[in-house]
Structure 1
Amino acid sequence: MKIGFIGTGSMGRTLVEAFIRSGKLSPQDLYIHNRTRAKAELLASEYPGIHVAADNRELVRQTRCIFLCMKPGEFRRVLEEIRGCTTRDHIVVSITSPVMIQDLEEWLPAKIAKIIPSITHAIFSGNSLYIPGSRLTTDDQAWLKDLFSAISSPLEVDERHARIASDLASCSPAFFANMMEKMADAAVEETGIPRESAISLVTQMAQGLGRLLTEGGFTLHTLQQRVAVPGGITREGLELLEKEVSPIFHRLIQLTHNKYEEDIEKVQKALNNRVEKNVP
């Protein structure tokens, strides 16, 4: 099956590269288009065989599955461009959480899905969040899950949980990388340890932590119990984190959900502000 990617920014590029490097797709299977054509041409030059479409309509005509990898504010422009050449046989996958499946099904006659990826797919890891639309057949769903199984662990979620699932699967790598960097910087400021040493220590720790949780038989709770012996330094540190840091995560989730609701409202206003709806 020929597959198209509209948008080759950070996540669109990550998906294209991961599918190729996993061996699941060959460059010849792929058509790409980007608003800034130079970005698409650069990606195609790195993976010879990828087709750079002249525009989004050509991409749709040449493919059976299309990934929409754009920012929320770009959806109306792209949907207006492609709805005239999209058919009931197409599978259209949005990777953008604030764009609702129902709205996409109103605009396009295609079979719709939402699959929210993570930067961790670059190393064939992490969960991809799978939300099927109403028109997907059993075979369509099996194909999509098989495709993403090559680079991730697909997890089906309800669309109403898309935001919190995205926080945990897709945003958390950046959140935790930030916390690790801040911990290393605090160590440098408080003790004078060389920054490269501090960064190396927290980076190697994170690698080992991941393996303990995935291969070592530990859970998040049992790992804390094993390291934090009663009366020890780690126990005191955990008590401080519980008091000072735990409330931050509630505020963080509230912030992301408030932004999510704002984005949904903006997208729906843009998509519904038209005279004609596409009725399949």
Structure 2
Amino acid sequence: MQSYKIAFLGAGSIAEAVIAGLLEANLVKGQDITVSNRSNTDRLSYFKSKYDVNGTHDKKELLRNADIIFFAMKPKDVVEAIAEVKEYITEKQFIISLLAGVSTASMTGLLEKHIPIVRSMPNTSAAILKSATAICASAYATEEHLRIARQLFEAIGSVSVVDEEQMHAVTALAGSGPAYVYYMVEAMEQAAREAGLDNEVAKSLILQTLSGAADMLLTTGKHPAVLRAEITSPNGTTQAGIETLQNNGFPDAIIKCIKRATERSHELGETLQALMKQ
């Protein structure tokens, strides 16, 4: 991987997380990464100062020597972005898409070339090498392209290869998933404050509890319902808490949350299709 030149079209949070992870894993060198956005020079300066990577607004310069091109712009901007850069992209290059809801077929149609594309959905835990990433290949991507993408993402966490139609659910579950956990932590912190716990004590207890619970699931192999039952004594404090969650629709809220996020991923793809027809 040290020999690859990598370009990022887009400099948002997910691009930063992937870059931070790749550098932390020592898979690529900062000098071999170039980042671009439309006009935010301050953002590119930030990338240079924090990660010692290159930055440019010149798309031709960005793509001229790139082996791998990460598409990391907002999904709503992909039509305009591809129109600006497609003349600079060749079939010898390889695209990795980080775009929620955007199919490889749509991207191929916009590029008007048989460019190999691997669609991916990492999450921002990539920055600490803990991403849960899913990938799938386009019609023109080979097993070798998939292998390279897998190697890149395995450096920043776990990787699952899925069929492309499953990527909407992956986006809702893993791509957005950390935000759901952070939201739950916000609520737990609020409850701790209202119970009179010191903020730092509460934070330490919550974070270790979450980390320990995740490790229990990973190391024991037990179903979460079994682990939950092992904690829940009849008429005890845990049962009282679980019953309150059930009575307030907690399981249904989580299911609806992921279903709605999945629907939104579909909607983003449909919006792109509509834009392509204009």
- Using structure 2 for the length normalisation, give the TM-score: 0.91
User: Could you tell me which residue of structure 1 aligns to residue 69 of structure 2?
Assistant: 66
Deviations 1:95-140 (A, max 9, x none): 1121111111112221111111111112211321101111111211
Question: Unaligned regions of 5+ residues in structure 2, if any?
Answer: none
Any conservation in 2 of the 1:185–1:195 contact (CA below 8 Å)? Answer: no
Q: What displacement does 1:217 show? A: 4.5
> Partners in 2 of 1:250 and 1:111 — Cα distance?
35
Any conservation in 1 of the 2:7–2:68 contact (CA below 8 Å)? Answer: yes
Any conservation in 2 of the 1:118–1:128 contact (CA below 8 Å)? Answer: yes
CA distance 1:247–1:54, shift in 2 (3 Å): closer
AA of the residue aligned to 1:211 = D
SS of equivalent to 2:176 = helix
Counterparts of 1:75-224 in structure 2 under 5 Å?
75-108=78-111, 109=113, 110-189=115-194, 191-224=195-228
Any conservation in 2 of the 1:181–1:199 contact (CA below 8 Å)? Answer: no
Counterparts of 1:259-270 in structure 2 under 5 Å?
259-270=264-275
> Partners in 1 of 2:277 and 2:71 — Cα distance?
19
AA of the residue aligned to 1:47 = Y
Q: What displacement does 1:88 show? A: 1.1
Q: What displacement does 1:20 show? A: 0.7
AA of the residue aligned to 1:213 = L
AA of the residue aligned to 1:172 = G
User: Could you tell me which residue of structure 1 aligns to residue 234 of structure 2?
Assistant: 230
SS of equivalent to 2:139 = coil
Any conservation in 2 of the 1:57–1:81 contact (CA below 8 Å)? Answer: no
2:243 paired with 1:239: yes
RMSD of Structure 2 on Structure 1 (CA): 1.8
State the number of aligned residues: 271
CA distance 1:57–1:239, shift in 2 (3 Å): same
User: Could you tell me which residue of structure 2 aligns to residue 17 of structure 1?
Assistant: 20
Q: What displacement does 1:195 show? A: 3.0
CA distance 1:103–1:187, shift in 2 (3 Å): same
Any conservation in 2 of the 1:97–1:114 contact (CA below 8 Å)? Answer: no
Q: What displacement does 1:158 show? A: 2.1
Identity in percent: 25
Any conservation in 1 of the 2:171–2:265 contact (CA below 8 Å)? Answer: no
- Using structure 1 for the length normalisation, give the TM-score: 0.90
